[in-house]
Structure 1
């Protein structure tokens, strides 16, 4: 089953990291990514720009487009992983590996994926990607 692991942390805290701390943290996270890829369990991964770059569409009687995130919170969604796991326990174990690679505060929300549509974006040469067999 596919699980989404949503990565939350304080943008202010992450933005205050030194370049050295950032680079070391990313090296540890890439090691976990590489392990998952070798196991054939790594799906899409995205690191998001800060909420200052966000735009929100609020639904209601009249739609409203506003700058920034929908809600003011202490932690923001910074990125996500889609991971193939045999069980929730395996997904939790994977989230713990990510947490160990990225120590400090924050949280990882683990959610089963109800529906998944592989990318229809073109590859780096502009050709349509072929669906997996």
Structure 2
């Protein structure tokens, strides 16, 4: 449930130094709430900026300067949070630095399902070209991982025993690793589990990198594969790229 917390305070409640400290503490609180998936937005209002009050009466727009002179506390900023209930919203409000020198008002928001279809509220979608490129790259990765890499752990071929011995792995262990490789590659291919599959493939390829380093073999290929996995996933699901630079919600 979303709540708007509005922080009111007297204009002279904060010195410039105290305001700077409170701003840093507010950012820390936003960061913590975001890590808990309870943060939506927050911002202070500009200080010493022109304020206009707008009214419409009988079809006529009336604009005046604000705020009203008799107002002792002015709106200084807000937090928009997404928490379970009002009690949790009250707890968060009590941690907002502005509450220590002013008043924080909490109001629940009324959801409007009619707005959910607005384009700006839709998940980011890949363009046709990016989607094709993403699936082509995903297919090439799957061919390499399943048909070239994993299949070699299931079939007999010349030099297989020597290679496994070099890595220090038994044939049964390599067989099991091949099964894991196939499963997580399939997870990577299915759209609903592509993100999970990318994480698991990254871990798997990290282990492959360590194995190659341990026996002093070239190790750039697993690293390159790991990068390509995320490029392919990002082309198919653009939200991945936004997440990587901290802009996804």
TM-score normalised by L of structure 1: 0.75
How far is 1:70 from its partner?
Answer: 5.2
Structure ranking higher in strand proportion: 1
Is the 8 Å Cα contact of residues 7 and 98 (structure 2) preserved in structure 1? no
Please point out which of 88, 91, 94 is paired with 1:93.
91
CA RMSD of superposed structures (Å): 2.6
TM-score (norm 2): 0.43
CA distance in 2 between counterparts of 1:70 and 1:50 reads 16
- Whether 1:107 aligns to 2:98 is no
Q: What's the counterpart of residue 3 of structure 1?
A: 3
Show the counterpart of 2:44: 47
In 2, Cα distance between equivalents of 1:67 and 1:111: 26
Q: Is the radius of gyration larger for structure 1 or structure 2?
A: 2
SS at match of 2:105: strand
Of residues 56-65 and 77-86 in structure 1, the stretch that sits farther from structure 2 once superposed is: 56-65
2:48 aligned with 1:57: no
The reply to whether residue 34 of structure 1 matches residue 31 of structure 2 is yes
Q: Which has the higher contact order (CA 8 A, sep 6+)?
A: 1
- Count of aligned positions: 120
Structure 1 residues 71 and 64, CA gap change in structure 2 (3 angstroms) = farther
| Residue 114 of structure 1: how far off its partner (Å) | 1.2
Within 2, Cα distance between the matches of 1:30 and 1:3?
18
Q: Deviations over 1:52-106 (max 9, x none)?
A: 52111023233211122256310001111110011100000010111xx346421
Return the match for 1:131 from 116, 122, 146: 122
Compared CA separation, residues 53 and 115, structure 1 to 2 (3 A): farther
Q: 1:88 and 1:103 mapped to 2: Cα distance?
A: 17
Gaps of 5+ in 1: 121-127
Change (3 A) 1:96 1:25: same
> Secondary structure, in 3 states, of the residue corresponding to 1:86?
coil
**Runs of 5+ consecutive residues of structure 2 not aligned to the other structure:** 125-249
In structure 2, how many angstroms separate the alpha carbons of the residues matched to 1:83 and 1:103?
16
Contact 1:6 1:77 survives alignment (8 Å) = yes
Change over 3 Å in CA distance of 1:69–1:3 after alignment to 2: same
